[in-house]
C-alpha cells in the first residue's frame, strides 16, 4: 500500500481535489437554486409576469457550482500520473476553499434570495434590494474562488 501511495498518491489526491471542489460547490448550488426555485414558483403562479425578475434571484446561488467546476478543471490540467504525493496533497488543499465556502455560501445565498423573492412578491419596485442582499453573500464565494485560483498558480512543482 505504501508503494502505491508513493507512486500514485499524487494523482489520487489531485483527483480527490477535483471531486471535492466540484461536488461540494455543486451540491450547495443545486440545493440553493432548488430552494429559491420553490419560492419563486409560488409567486409565479399568481403573477407570471414576475418570472424574469425571479429568475435572477434563482440563478445567483448557482454561481458557486461554476466556481468549483472551474477550479476542478484547472486542477485537472495539472494532473500527471507520476506527480509526487506532495503535489497531489497541495492540489487537494487548494481545492478546499472553493469547495467548502462554495457549499455554505450557496446555501446562505439561497436563503437571502428567498427573502428577495418575498420582496418581489410584496413590493416589486424594491426587487433590486433583494438582489443586492443576495449578491453580498456572493462576495465570500468569489474570495474563496480567488484563493483557490491563487494557490493553484503559486507553488510550482
Whole-model pTM?
0.93
DSSP for 46-105, please give it. H-GGGHHHHHHHHHGGGHHHHHHHHHHHHHHHH--TT--HHHHHHHHHHHHHHHHHHHHH
CA distance 34 to 123: 23
Given this model, what pLDDT does residue 3 score?
84
* Burial per residue of 112-144, b for 16 or more beta-carbon CB atoms within 10 angstroms, e otherwise: bbbbbbebbbeeeeebeebbebbbebbebbbeb
Confidence at residue 1, expressed as pLDDT on a 0 to 100 scale: 75
Mean pLDDT per 10-residue interval, the chain, length 157 residues: 85 98 98 98 96 97 98 97 95 98 98 98 96 97 98 91
Structure-block grid coordinates of residue 116: 428577495
Q: What is the pLDDT of residue 4?
A: 83
User: Quick one: 147 exposed, middle or buried, by C-beta within 10 A (0-12, 13-18, 19+)?
Assistant: middle
> What is the model's pLDDT at position 103?
98
Q: Given 2.60.40.10, 2.60.120.260, 3.30.230.10, 1.20.120.610, which CATH number is that of 8-154?
A: 1.20.120.610
Amino acid at each position: 500500500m505504501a508503494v502505491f501511495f508513493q507512486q500514485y498518491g499524487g494523482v489520487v489526491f489531485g483527483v480527490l481535489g477535483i471531486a471535492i471542489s466540484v461536488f461540494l460547490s455543486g451540491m450547495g448550488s443545486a440545493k440553493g437554486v432548488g430552494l429559491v426555485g420553490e419560492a419563486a414558483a409560488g409567486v409565479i403562479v399568481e403573477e407570471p409576469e414576475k418570472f424574469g425578475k425571479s429568475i435572477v434571484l434563482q440563478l445567483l446561488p448557482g454561481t458557486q457550482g461554476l466556481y468549483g467546476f472551474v477550479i476542478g478543471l484547472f486542477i485537472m490540467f495539472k494532473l500527471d500520473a507520476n506527480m509526487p504525493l506532495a503535489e497531489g496533497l497541495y492540489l487537494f488543499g487548494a481545492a478546499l476553499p472553493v469547495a467548502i465556502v462554495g457549499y455554505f455560501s450557496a446555501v446562505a445565498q439561497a436563503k437571502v434570495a428567498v427573502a428577495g423573492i418575498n420582496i418581489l412578491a410584496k413590493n416589486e419596485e424594491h426587487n433590486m434590494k433583494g438582489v443586492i442582499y443576495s449578491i453580498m453573500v456572493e462576495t465570500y464565494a468569489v474570495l474563496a474562488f480567488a484563493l483557490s485560483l491563487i494557490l493553484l498558480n503559486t507553488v510550482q512543482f
